[in-house]
Amino acid sequence: MCSIISLTMTDDFLEFDEDGKLPISIRDSTSVDMDGIMKPQKQSKQTGPTALELENDDVDTDDAKAELLPNEKRGMPFWTFEYYQTFFNVDTQEVKSRIFGSILPWRGKNFVSLHIRSNPDLYGPFWICATLVFAIAISGNISTFLVHRGDPQYKYVPEFRKVTMAATAIYSYAWLVPLALWGFLTWRNSKIVSSVSYSFLEIVCVYGYSLSIYIPAVVLWIIPSEGVRWFSIVAALCLSGSVLVMTFWPTIRDDRPRVAGAIIMTIVALHVLLAVGCKAYFFSTREDENTSKLRQVEEIKAQPTLKTNAV
């Protein structure tokens, strides 16, 4: 059924569009049914997006920005300061827990997955190595002074070269050994699929935090007693060496037994070499001083003999 509807509104006739439709402003305010009855329709008070929609849009935008920021940090060039700033993004509690985890290893708990993997850092390894360097240099000077105490001919002179030598030894061990180990493990994992693999930064963290036990051990080396020194060396080697073995064993246990055994022996041997080498080079004993004095006396006695033979 077709019906012709004429609409009046305050003495003015409504005009239809060219396509026969009502204007938009009128269509929003009225509705026409088939019987020609005009029914008012509630006009929406909010023509734009609602407050909830705006809030959701803001949340989505913030989430998108939060997702982009980490990507931007990861994509920064390595020569910028912001690139290295992410490696030092740790707090005091994290560093303390990692130090205690490296000093007190637990069987069946991987140090990397438990402490490092969530946020590997360079802050702890850098300052642990720096503290160990100064501890070795200062303790070595004090040890030399105590050995020569009571000798009227001895004049104490600080040996600053020990700082340079200790820094070269400690930082070379904390960086070059992890680099060589990471390269070898990457090469072996390409041949034998392993369920566990570590990045170079994670290996540096393991080696850096494993040296923390040597700081109190080096302080004990001031005592001019070989028994105390060797006891502290063995205790430090057992604790820190067990951390290294339990950490890297899952990465090589699927390899051939000879290769896995050689890697573990190399890791332990380098760790022992660092401790014994630092003790032998930076800390002198009374026996060493007596031996050096005997050599000096023999050289003095030999000089007149050489002059007589020359004449």
Question: Which parts of the chain have pLDDT scores under 50?
Answer: 1-16, 25-49, 51-73, 291-292, 294, 297, 306
Q: How far apart are CA 293 and CA 301, in angstroms?
A: 12
* Both structure tokens of 103: 């000093």
The CB density around residue 22, as the number of other CB atoms within 10 Å, is 17
Read off φ and ψ for residue 272, nearest 5 degrees. Answer: -65, -40
Q: Which helix (H) or strand (E) holds 35?
A: none
Tens-place pLDDT, residues 225-239: 888 899 999 999 999
Helix (H, G, I), strand (E, B) or coil at 40: strand
| Rounded CA separation 241/235 (Å) | 10
CA 36/CA 102 separation, integer angstroms = 86
Please give the single-letter amino acid code of residue 26: I
Residue 247 · residue 110 · CB < 8 Å: yes
pLDDT, residue 157, reads: 81
Q: What pLDDT does 165 receive? A: 92
Which pLDDT value is given to residue 123? 92
The residue type found at 230 is W
SS3 content of the chain, % helix, strand, coil (to 5): 70, 5, 30
Whether 286 contacts 224, CB under 8 Å: yes
pLDDT score at 265: 95
Reported in sequence order, the residue ranges of the chain that DSSP labels E, i.e. its strands, are 8-9, 12-13, 30-32, 38-40
CB atoms within 10 A of CB 175: 16
**E strand intervals along 199-311:** none
Residue pair 249/264 in contact by the 8 Å Cβ criterion: yes
pLDDT of residue 146: 84
Give me the pLDDT at residue 274, please: 93
Q: For a pLDDT cut of 70, what percent of the chain falls above it?
A: 64
Residue 95 CA to its chain's centroid (Å): 10
On the CB side of 224, CA atoms within 13 Å amount to 15
